Structure 1
Amino acid sequence: MNPLLDMDDDTRRAYLSRIRQYLAWLEDADLNGDPLTDPAVRDWAARDYRAHLLTVLKRKPTTVNAHLTAIDDFNRRIGLGPATAKRIILPNLAPRALDQRTQTRFLRAIEQSAPRDRAMGYTAFYAGTRIHELVALDIDDLHISARKGVLIIRMGKNEKYREVLMHTTLRTELDTYLRHRANLPGADKSKALFLNVRGGRLSARAATDVLNGIADRAGIDVGRDEEFTTHVLRHTLGTKLAREGEDVVKIAQILGHNLETARRYTLPTEADMQAAIDKLTVDE
């Protein structure tokens, strides 16, 4: 399966950017051979580049591993196969998530947004939708009544179908947005839930910009190596559910994960580790 086809636009751009950075580094690397044709030189190149990312560019282990994954895919595409470069062993921690104070700032920034952007922000926060799932939503994928609401994800990652019960706030906001949407240009011609200014379906890139903009207004640093990415909202929901005692089966069903991935949310976060350290008592 082509991994590029199972990515949102933002992730795909980052994936391709890693390959371009690697190829640019190769131009000046002293490898004594061609890493694009010789398997032995391919392995040396991947290991040297791993060291370059860690020691020269000071990249985080998760970022280095992401670069190695992209390089492996590139080498497969040129018929060479993946390099024998070990991944960096990561701390056994839960995925990065927003802490409680930052969540509050994000939600307050959502409240100050336009109706469409409010609905998008609450959907990402309370339903944990991926960007491509968010923009793929149609009006018919919402089932809202006076007492409950259901959000249908028809084509999630790995083509998984799931139904997510709506939080009260999300149900209210989506109901409000639907009434607002009815008066937008192109609303009577498009089945898409979230529309762009021309009345067509909002793109994944535009949706990413909307959520990044909300985070920026909340004073949250945006970027892959920063505090906020759109995917961090999924991690935040999973972490909140785990901290509130929900079992991994429920978490997996809500987020469209397998059980092994859902178990990651039960691991400690960096904030948990810091809190443990801060509780230490010392004699003065």
Structure 2
Amino acid sequence: MVLTAYTTALARAPVSAQTRRTYASKVRQYLAWLADTTLDGDPLTEKAARDWAVRDYRAHLQNVTKRAPRTVNNALAAVDDFYTRTGLGPATAARAPLPRTAPRALTRKAAVRFLREVERWPSPRDAALALTPFYAGTRIAETVGLDIDDVALSARRGSVRIHGKGDQVRQVPIHPPLRAAFTGWLSERADWPGAEGPALFLNQQGGRLSTAGAHTIITTIAAAAGLDEKTTAHVLRHTFATSLVRGGTDLVTVAELLGHTRLETVRIYTQPTEDDKIRALDHLITDE
């Protein structure tokens, strides 16, 4: 089976477990679309048919399923990986143009509401989990992938070792509020099932907390703070990056802290947000 052969090859690739799951899921969706679509030629063996199919799939994602440009491009990246590992090579298909707007981040007012809710939250584990992407800029998979040995606490701060995409490792200084949250959780963690294991964040059964479990915790805290359902770990990561860029931090440092290898990736945080555009209109003259 084509998908089985791909996932077997993907399992040997030096990528994170989250990337493997994401790519496998997106390739599965692409292959299902191929099976239900009338195509010119065989896109699994012919390069021209491959290109036509991928372009048609891009149009399907954009116009039928109404996927956002980043979602479309992520799907195309997975499809390119599929074709690369099966020997046909990536398709010749342009990526969907990205909007020139900064990623969604919390406003200062919303961030304060979130932080106050975290401070009130009864679970030290959940509080430390929620503050990790906010103060260390971690992706959700990076957050749940942390081990105890990745956290080094000093008298005042410390650092956290983050295992990112492509097996890249970066060190991020621990901000004082995150240090306090880690300290509180590590003290309670000793009494949890599975405390002898390596995972920093445990589930109730003593295993490593899953990305789905972490997502639920963060969105639940955000909802309790009165924020909308779109406040995810990735929004907290965007808030971290946006705060640094707007605070005057150079892009090289921001890229290093986020685990990006290309400056172009972090330049988007210099773009205006939707709130910036709305506030700009307040300067227009009205006759009221």
TM-score range, shorter chain: 0.7 to 0.9
Q: Which residue of 2 aligns with 1:19?
A: 27
Question: In 1, distance between residues paired with 2:135 and 2:124?
Answer: 16
Alignment counterpart, residue 278 of structure 2, candidates 268, 274, 278: 274
Q: Which residue of 2 aligns with 1:264?
A: 268
Aligned length: 277
The secondary structure found in structure 2 opposite 1:194 is coil
1:86 aligns with 2:94: yes
Is residue 146–residue 199 contact of structure 2 (8 Å, CA) maintained in 1?
A: yes
Is residue 150–residue 163 contact of structure 1 (8 Å, CA) maintained in 2?
A: no
1:97 aligns with 2:101: no
Q: Which residue of 2 aligns with 1:77?
A: 85
1:185-224 superposed Cα distances (whole Å, 9 cap, x missing partner):
343x2343222323344344433443344334445555xx
1:143-177 superposed Cα distances (whole Å, 9 cap, x missing partner):
3344x211231533344443322222112222222
Give the drift of 1:244: 1.6
1:52 aligns with 2:78: no
Alignment counterpart, residue 126 of structure 1, candidates 135, 159, 166: 135
Give the drift of 1:41: 1.6
Q: TM-score, normalised by structure 2?
A: 0.82
Is residue 252–residue 258 contact of structure 1 (8 Å, CA) maintained in 2?
A: yes
Letter aligned with residue 184 of structure 1: W
Give the drift of 1:116: 0.7
The secondary structure found in structure 2 opposite 1:44 is helix
Q: Which residue of 2 aligns with 1:35?
A: 43
Q: How does 1:136-215 map to 2 (within 5 A)?
A: 136-146=145-155, 148-153=156-161, 155-187=163-195, 189-215=196-222
Deviates more, 1:44-53 or 1:137-146: 137-146
1:247 aligns with 2:282: no
Q: TM-score, normalised by structure 1?
A: 0.83
Q: Which residue of 1 aligns with 2:5?
A: none
Identity %: 52
Give the drift of 1:22: 2.1
Is residue 130–residue 233 contact of structure 2 (8 Å, CA) maintained in 1?
A: no
Distance change in 2, residues 1:184/1:84 (3 Å): same
The secondary structure found in structure 1 opposite 2:233 is coil
Is residue 72–residue 81 contact of structure 1 (8 Å, CA) maintained in 2?
A: yes
Question: In 2, distance between residues paired with 1:278 and 1:22?
Answer: 45
Deviates more, 1:137-146 or 1:85-94: 137-146
Question: In 1, distance between residues paired with 2:212 and 2:104?
Answer: 22
Letter aligned with residue 241 of structure 1: L
Question: In 2, distance between residues paired with 1:259 and 1:77?
Answer: 24
Deviates more, 1:53-62 or 1:196-205: 196-205
Deviates more, 1:151-160 or 1:54-63: 151-160
Question: In 2, distance between residues paired with 1:191 and 1:7?
Answer: 18
Structure 2, unaligned runs of 5 or more = 1-8
Question: In 1, distance between residues paired with 2:216 and 2:271?
Answer: 30
Is residue 124–residue 134 contact of structure 1 (8 Å, CA) maintained in 2?
A: yes
1:24-71 superposed Cα distances (whole Å, 9 cap, x missing partner):
222232223222222222212112222222222222222222222222
Is residue 157–residue 173 contact of structure 2 (8 Å, CA) maintained in 1?
A: yes
Letter aligned with residue 50 of structure 2: R
Q: Which residue of 1 aligns with 2:3?
A: none
Give the drift of 1:256: 2.9
Letter aligned with residue 139 of structure 1: I
Q: Which residue of 2 aligns with 1:135?
A: 144
CA RMSD of aligned residues (A): 2.9
1:204-256 superposed Cα distances (whole Å, 9 cap, x missing partner):
4433443344334445555xxxx334223222101011112222233233333
The secondary structure found in structure 1 opposite 2:158 is strand
Distance change in 2, residues 1:7/1:98 (3 Å): farther
Letter aligned with residue 138 of structure 1: D
Letter aligned with residue 62 of structure 1: R
